[in-house]
């Protein structure tokens, strides 16, 4: 079965391509390398020991997408990772974000429809829940108010796909809402390269640990949580990648409609849990300072993953220790990510 992976050179895309290849899928990938490097594609081929067609192509270039489908008329489904994801940059450059994420997705689904491929798995985010009405968060929790343009693009991309599916029942749509993927491939040869100043705890922390940033800021220790810091649901990137393989199997069985599925570990870890685990692995202290709360941070974000377990038969298996160890291995090997 042939799968087109958009954003295949990115953090989640590259790990998912390996899982797909390991599970016997044929992969076609594309990326415009806005936030990634051809080296990641090379590494994926080396790690998996398999070659696959890869195109340097931009979703905003509809003709380029047409050419991919023309070369591969047998694409069964698209796993759609491509897009911009840096929260801070989205606040500075909202139109860039709306254009890339929304126009890009519109182009992609139009080309898919013309090619007769109506199966899509979309990378959404827990950010669409806004300030959630319930913890742990189930998929029934209503979508909320996003705090930045990036979040709104995910919210709107979801809505576009839901409306498309309602109007055209031949579409089979899965919306995967990721919580906080961290970690890297066990080889340490691929991992996450955040754009600019990382907004998330783990990329920031690992950059402090390798000396790229002077200290880590802990934003608020007066939340209503056991140690006063925010709690998040972290999931190992390898568990997340495997979740896509299971989602494809499920997509193949189900008959149309759209299905929303949370992918997290279902376990909550505080800022101090993460720092302590990292310090234990590194055997040294991370320079840190307690700062005021950050606007827009919610105290707890935690996934209810009952639906993923039930529908996908999927279960995350990696521990927090492994997530931190693998993030650290990648960061040490490639403190700057890949130079393009």
- Give the contact letters, 60-79, x = binds to ligand NAD (CB under 6 A), - = no: x-------------------
Residue 101: CB minimum distance to ligand NAD, A? 7
| Alpha-carbon gap, residue 216 to 206, rounded angstroms | 9
> DSSP labels for 316-340?
----HHHHHHHHHHHHHH-TT----
In whole angstroms, give the CA distance from residue 338 to residue 340: 6
| Nearest to 112, CA basis, from 72, 156, 83 | 72
Closest CA to 185 of 2, 3, 13, 31: 13
Residue 131 or 221 with smaller CB distance to ligand NAD: 131
Q: Confirm if 29 and 12 have CB atoms less than 8 A apart.
A: no
Q: Which of residues 232-251 bind ligand NAD (CB under 6 A)?
A: none
Which residues ranging from 85 to 144 are in contact with ligand NAD (CB under 6 A)?
85, 100, 104, 123, 125
Figure out which of the listed residues 18, 20, 83, 216 binds ligand NAD, where binding follows CB under 6 A.
Answer: 83
Minimum separation from the CB atom of position 81 to ligand NAD (A)? 4
Residue 277 sits in the site that holds ligand NAD (CB under 6 A): no
34 counts as catalytic: no
11/123 Cα distance (integer angstroms): 12
Could you say whether residue 326 binds ligand NAD (CB under 6 A)? Answer: no
Alpha-carbon distance values, 138 to 40, 189, 268 (Å) = 34, 34, 14
Q: Which residues contact 90 (CB under 8 A, 6 or more apart)?
A: 84, 96, 97, 148, 149, 150, 153
Closest CA to 125 of 205, 180, 207, 45: 180
Told to check if 16 binds ligand NAD by CB under 6 A, we report no
Alpha-helix runs per DSSP H in 52-86:
62-71
Residue 114, SS3 per DSSP: helix
Of residues 171-190, those binding ligand NAD (CB under 6 A): 178, 180-181
Contacts of 249 (CB under 8 A, 6+ apart): 312
Give the closest residue to 181 by CA, choosing from 137, 132, 123, 221.
123
84 binds ligand NAD (CB under 6 A): yes
Smallest distance from the beta carbon of 12 to ligand NAD, in angstroms?
A: 4
For residues 278 to 317, the per-residue mask of contacts with ligand NAD, x marking binding by CB under 6 A and - elsewhere, is: ----------------------------------------
Rg (CA), the chain: 19
Give me the 211-230 binding string for ligand NAD, x by CB under 6 A, dash otherwise: --------------------
Residue 149 near ligand NAD by CB under 6 A: no
Q: Is 59 in the site for ligand NAD (CB under 6 A)?
A: yes
Is 31 one of the binding residues for ligand NAD (CB under 6 A)?
yes
Q: Which single residue is written with the structure tokens 């995910």?
A: 154
Our finding on whether 202 is near ligand NAD (CB under 6 A) is: no
Q: How far is the CB of 100 from ligand NAD (least distance, A)?
A: 5
| Closer CB to ligand NAD, 123 or 265, in the complex | 123
Name the residue whose CB lies closest to ligand NAD: 10
User: Regarding beta strands 180-182 and 231-236, do their DSSP bridges make them parallel or antiparallel, or are they unpaired?
Assistant: parallel
The owner of tokens 């509809």 is: 62
Beta carbon nearer to ligand NAD, 25 or 30: 30
Options 11, 55, 150, 250, the catalytic residue? 150
Q: Which of 5, 11, 151, 248 binds ligand NAD (CB under 6 A)?
A: 11
Q: Binding residues for ligand NAD, per CB under 6 A? A: 7, 9-13, 31-36, 58-60, 81-85, 100, 104, 123, 125, 178, 180-181
Residues marked as catalytic: 150
């Amino acid at each position: 079965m042939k799968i087109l992976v958009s954003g295949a050179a990115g953090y989640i895309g590259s790990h998912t391509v390996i899982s797909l290849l390991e599970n016997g899928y044929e992969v076609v990938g594309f990326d415009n390398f806005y936030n990634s490097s051809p080296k990641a594609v090379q590494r994926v081929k080396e790690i998996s020991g398999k070659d696959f067609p890869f195109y340097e192509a931009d979703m905003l270039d509809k003709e380029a997408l047409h050419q991919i489908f023309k070369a591969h008329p047998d694409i069964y489904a698209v796993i759609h990772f491509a897009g911009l994801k840096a929260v801070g940059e989205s606040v500075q450059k909202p139109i860039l974000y709306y254009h890339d994420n929304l126009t890009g997705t519109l182009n992609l689904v139009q080309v898919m429809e013309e090619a007769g491929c109506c199966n899509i798995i979309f990378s959404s985010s827990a950010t669409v829940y806004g300030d959630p009405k319930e913890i742990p968060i189930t998929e029934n929790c209503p979508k909320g108010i996003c705090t930045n343009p990036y979040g709104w693009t995910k919210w709107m991309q979801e809505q576009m796909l839901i409306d498309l599916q309602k109007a055209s029942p031949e579409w089979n749509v899965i919306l995967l809402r990721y919580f906080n993927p961290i970690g890297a491939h066990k080889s340490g040869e691929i991992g996450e390269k955040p754009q600019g100043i990382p907004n998330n705890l783990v990329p920031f922390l690992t950059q402090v640990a390798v000396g790229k940033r002077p200290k880590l800021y802990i934003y608020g220790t007066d939340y209503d949580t056991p140690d006063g810091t925010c709690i998040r649901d972290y999931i190992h990137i390898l568990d997340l990648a495997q979740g896509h393989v299971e989602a494809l199997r499920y997509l193949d069985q189900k008959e149309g409609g759209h299905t929303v599925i949370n992918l997290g570990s279902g376990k909550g870890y505080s800022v101090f849990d993460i720092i302590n685990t990292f310090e234990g692995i590194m055997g040294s202290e991370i320079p840190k300072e307690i700062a005021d709360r950050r606007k827009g941070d919610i105290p707890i974000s935690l996934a209810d993953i009952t639906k993923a377990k039930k529908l996908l038969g999927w279960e995350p298996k990696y521990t927090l220790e492994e997530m931190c160890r693998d993030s650290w291995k990648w960061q040490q090997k490639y403190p700057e990510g890949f130079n393009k």
